[in-house]
Amino acid sequence: MDLKDKLLSSFIAFENNVDLDHPVHEVRSEAIKNFEEKGFPSKKEEAWKYTSLNGIQKVDFSIFPKKENTLEYKDIKKYFLHEIDTYKIVFIDGVYSSYLSETTHDGVDVCLMSAALTKPQYKQVIDVYFNKVASKDESLTTLNTAFSKEGAYIYIPKNKVPKKPIQIVHLATGNEAALMLQPRNLVIVEENAEVQIIERHQSLTGNEVLTNSVTEIFAAKDANVDYYKVQNDENTASLIDNTYISQKDKSVVRVHTFSFGGKLTRNNLNFYQNGEYMDSVLKGVTILGEKQHVDHHTLVHHAQPNCESHQDYKGIFGEKSTGVFNGKIIVDKIAQKTNAFQQNNNILISDKATINTKPQLEIFADDVKCSHGCTIGQLDEDALFYLQSRGIPKKEATALLMYAFANNVLESVRIPELKTRINKIIANKLGVRVGFEL
Amino acid sequence: MLEIKDLHASIEDKKILNGINLEVNAGEVHAIMGPNGSGKSTLASVIAGKEEFEIKKGSLALDGEDLEELDPEERAHKGIFLSFQYPVEIPGVSVTNFMKTAINASRKARGLEDMPANQMLKLIREKSEMLEIDRKFLSRSLNEGFSGGEKKRNEIFQMAMLEPKLAILDETDSGLDIDALRIVANGVNKLRGKDNAIIVITHYQRLLEYIVPDFVHVLHDGKIVKSGTKELALELEEKGYDWIKQETVV
């Protein structure tokens, strides 16, 4: 049985464990129909030209974990940003771990999607927001929607700021030979509210894991959202991340994606601007080696006047790794005075590494500023000479420059401890020996 | 110390240096002046070992050792230092960490252990005070967001830390206001000694009022067309570079 058939038959089993009368189930039923019709995307589709899901479909994934698993915090501490106090929503093999989590209902809701999808007090919010910005025809998103049951639910009411950042961590124990996970997150940030979220998917063994995740984020007027994705997984873990963001007037949403590992990673990051005077920020650092593959597909849809978007993705590709950047910007006819910037710079450090980069601009308004630039290149010779002239050998100087190249993107990270952590990961990846004690 | 004989150098087959002869001895300060495009910065880069320049003819030696085959880092380990006209920005690497990396790389090349941390801190404190550099400045990313003056002051700070045998200052005065110029020049003067030498490359005479040279050379079309003492700089300031150009033609 191939993966599609397995998923379709699993849906029947899935229905035994959910409330079929809940309005959300109608959404799920619609979604599974769409997936049944479309199936997994193939390389014939333009959006999937450079990323093949053929290998994944041959794996015999468990769709539901067979038993509940537990983990000791000390064994997995390193996957958390443990230097600061945070709320935590932690899942082990897709199942919520109350022992490792720290949720809250104190003024804000930082809790579980399973609660939000079943308990009456959330019904009103679910009716308004659930599956409202996520695509209803993109097949992998609808696959997730069909199985949507668990994940993080974050609701920040008007004028509220949570006391601390929130970490969403998905751990895979490897107790199953191959496991598929489909977390579903919903983040609602009301007027003039703020939130900082860090998300990580981590496999703990070399067993195969496939995660098909969907996150919907709603930023109301004057809301401020920082979302950090840390992707540094094992070489047997694949991630398809589908993130959909709806923004209203004067809101600012920044998404940083740090891609340092995993076998196959696909980031579908979609911003829909439904108001004026807002800013969407998309930043990424990708550093790959071995046969790793990362595909960033971004979309920024400017639908109203006077808005900005800033995209800056940097990539360093070694060994036989492959990267894709496809940045689509749509500026509707009424979206005058749009400022849309897009930058994608790449360095290939191996003859066998590949990057495919493509800006895709569809501009229907006439009074806009849109700039885009893609580069694929080597390091700046002048900079290399500068470091060598200070006595730093060429090999170390090269590593130091790559470090600087990637680090540039971290300026906008607003959690200093996270910034330091990412700095260290980058330094390790590139073999840079710079002391951090000073 | 530095011996340059009939040096010809090109970049992509474009001849820039056309037979430079220059001898710099320990304890001396030489100024190299000349109009834009005369080859001043190229000469500095060739001495420091920038690869894109090709030496076509002539020789370049430090303490009798031929430099041509040495990489820039090897030349640095032998005591050559170039203060850049346009220092490079390195985000994410603090001035302090950069200096530690540079100093320990040189020590390693000389077969020495890493400098102990307390000694390093003491050295950093001492040299930053000399150049009136704020401690906060040292934890900032190297050259990132520095003003022109800060970049130049930082170059001289690096020079002070590395204590080179031969320092080449390429247009260190450009972008400096008068106060910064004085601080930088004081710093350089404190580093003058009987065992080291300095080559000051400048377009204007202004810097030479503070760093007084023993010799002044005028570069034109990739050649030294006139040499003299510090008075030559004043004469140049007064008469302009056209004077040299005319003389050369005659």
Candidate from A386, A408, A434 with C-beta closest to B88? A386
- The answer, for B53 touching chain A at a CB cutoff of 8 Å, is no
d(CA A383, CA A389): 10
Tens of pLDDT along A58-78? 999 999 877 788 899 999 999
- A438 pLDDT band, cuts 50/70/90, is very low
Q: How far apart are CA A34 and CA A138, in angstroms?
A: 8
- CB pair distance less than 8 Å for A388 and B93: no
Q: Could you tell me the pLDDT band of residue A152, with boundaries at 50, 70 and 90?
A: very high
* Among the listed residues B193, B74, B84, B103, the one whose alpha carbon sits nearest the alpha carbon of residue B146: B84
Is it the case that residue A436 has pLDDT exceeding 50? no
Q: Residue A394 pLDDT > 80, yes or no?
A: yes
Q: Is the pLDDT of residue A437 over 60?
A: no
Q: Tell whether A82 and A221 lie within a shared domain.
A: yes
Region A194-198: mean pLDDT is 98
d(CA B223, CA A181): 71
B39 close contact with A: CB closer than 8 A: no
A340 burial (CB, 10 Å; 0-12 / 13-18 / 19+) is: buried
Considering the domain boundaries, does residue A369 fall inside one? no
Name the residue facing B52 among A381, A408, A426 (closest C-beta): A381
* Shared domain check, A403 and A255: no
Domain count for chain A: 2
Reduced to 3 states, what is the DSSP secondary structure of residue A9? helix
Count of C-beta atoms within a 10 Å radius of residue A116: 25
Q: Which residues of B touch A434 (CB under 8 A)?
A: 93, 97, 101
Asked whether residue A48 is domain-assigned, the answer is: yes
Say if A168 falls within a structural domain. yes
- CA-based angle B203:B204:B208, to the nearest 5? 115
- Interchain contact, A410 vs B92, CB within 8 Å: yes
| Mean pLDDT (whole number) for A353-375 | 94
Query: Of A380, A389, A393, which has the smallest distance from its Cβ to B48's Cβ?
Result: A389
What is the distance in angstroms between the Cα of B128 and the nearest Cα belonging to chain A? 16
Answer yes or no: is A139 within a domain: yes
**A393/B105 Cβ within 8 A:** yes
Nearest CA-CA distance, residue A395 and chain B, Å? 11
Q: What is the mean pLDDT of residues A122-150?
A: 97
Task: Give the integer Cα–Cα distance in Å for B246 and B250.
Answer: 6
Cβ(A370)–Cβ(A331) below 8 Å: yes
Cα–Cα distance for residue pair B49/B129, rounded to 1 Å: 31
Lateral strand order in the sheet of A369-377: A95-96, A87-92, A166-172, A194-203, A224-231, A252-259, A279-288, A308-317, A339-348, A369-377
Say how far apart CA B16 and CA B219 lie, in whole Å: 11
What pLDDT does residue B250 have? 54
* Cα angle, residue A40 at apex, residues A34 and A41 outer, rounded to 5°: 105
Residues A269, A389 within the same domain: no
Which residue from B minimizes the CA distance to A394?
B73
Rounded to 5°, the CA angle A413-A419-A421 comes to 150
Enclosing domain of residue A416: 382-438
| Mean pLDDT of the region A420-433 | 86
> CA-CA distance, A228 to A254, in Å (whole number)?
8
Judge whether residue A124 has pLDDT over 70: yes
Instruction: Tell me whether residues A385 and B75 touch, CB distance under 8 A.
Output: no
- 8 Å CB contact of A386 and B102: no
* Alpha-helix residue ranges (DSSP H) falling in A208-320: none
Claim to verify: residue A108 and residue A231 sit in the same structural domain: yes
CA distance A418 to chain B (A): 14
User: Which of A378, A379, A385 is the best residue to mutate to test the B interface, defined by the most B CB atoms within 10 Å of its own CB?
Assistant: A385
A274, A305, A338 — which closes off a domain?
A274
Mean pLDDT, residues A224-248 taken together: 97
Name the DSSP class of A148.
-
Q: How far is B159 from chain A (nearest CA, A)?
A: 9
Calpha distance B48→B27 (Å, rounded): 19
Interface test with B, best of A381, A387, A403, A422 (most B CBs within 10 A): A387
* A278-297 pLDDT, tens digit each: 999 999 999 999 999 999 99
What local confidence, expressed as pLDDT, does residue A435 receive?
A: 52
Taking contacts as CB-CB distances below 8 angstroms, the residues of chain A near B50 are 385
Contact partners, residue B244, CB within 8 Å, separation at least 6: B34, B35, B218, B220, B225, B226, B236
Residue A434 has pLDDT above 90, yes or no: no
**Mean pLDDT of the region A18-47:** 95
The predicted structure's pLDDT at residue A61: 96
Q: Are A357 and A325 in contact (CB under 8 A)?
A: yes
Using CA atoms, how far residue A310 sits from A180, A253, A267, B91, B135, in Å, is 33, 11, 17, 19, 34
Confidence of residue A322 (pLDDT cuts 50, 70, 90): very high
Please give the pLDDT value at position B249: 60
C-alpha–C-alpha distance, residues A345 and A315, integer Å: 6
For residue A46, how many other CB atoms are within 10 A of its CB? 10
Please check the confidence at residue A257 and state whether its pLDDT lies above 80.
yes
Residue A268 lies in a domain: yes
Chain B nearest C-alpha distance from A284 (Å)? 16
CB-CB under 8 Å, A434 with B97: yes
- In the three-class reduction of DSSP (H, G, I as helix; E, B as strand; rest coil), residue B53 is classed as coil
Asked if A438 and B88 come within 8 Å (Cβ–Cβ), the reply is no
Q: What is the pLDDT of residue B236?
A: 86
Query: Any CB–CB contact under 8 A between B106 and chain A?
Result: yes
Does residue A65 sit in the same domain as residue A192? yes
Between CA A184 and CA A186 the distance in angstroms is: 7
For B85, name the nearest residue in chain A, comparing CA atoms only. Answer: A386
Is A379 in the B-facing interface, judged by CB distances under 8 Å? no
Q: Which residue in chain A has the smallest CA separation from B96? A: A438
Of the partner residues A387, A407, A435, the one whose CB lies closest to the CB of residue B100 = A435
Residues of A in contact with B105 (CB under 8 A): 390-393, 396
- A85 shares its domain with A228: yes
Predicted confidence at residue A421, as pLDDT, reads: 92
Cα–Cα distance, B96 to B142 (Å, whole number): 9
Residues A134 and A182: their CA atoms lie apart, in Å, by 14
Whether A355 maps to a domain, the answer reads no
How large is the angle between the packed helices B178-191 and B148-162, nearest 10 degrees?
Answer: 10
In a domain, A322, yes or no: no
Q: Is residue A318 part of a domain?
A: no
Strands B2-11 vs B54-62: parallel, antiparallel or unpaired: antiparallel
Which residues does chain B have with pLDDT short of 50? none
| Boundary of a domain, candidates A249, A274, A299 | A274
What are the C-alpha distances in Å from A50 to residues A43, A323, A330, B17, B219?
7, 9, 22, 50, 56
Whether pTM > 0.90 for this model: the answer is: no
CATH superfamily of domain region B2-249: P-loop containing nucleotide triphosphate hydrolases (3.40.50.300)
pLDDT exceeds 60 at position A305: yes
CA distance B168 to B162: 13
Strand partners, A362: A330
Residue indicated by tokens 């150049």: B131
Contacts of residue A420, Cβ cutoff 8 Å, sequence gap at least 6: A83, A436
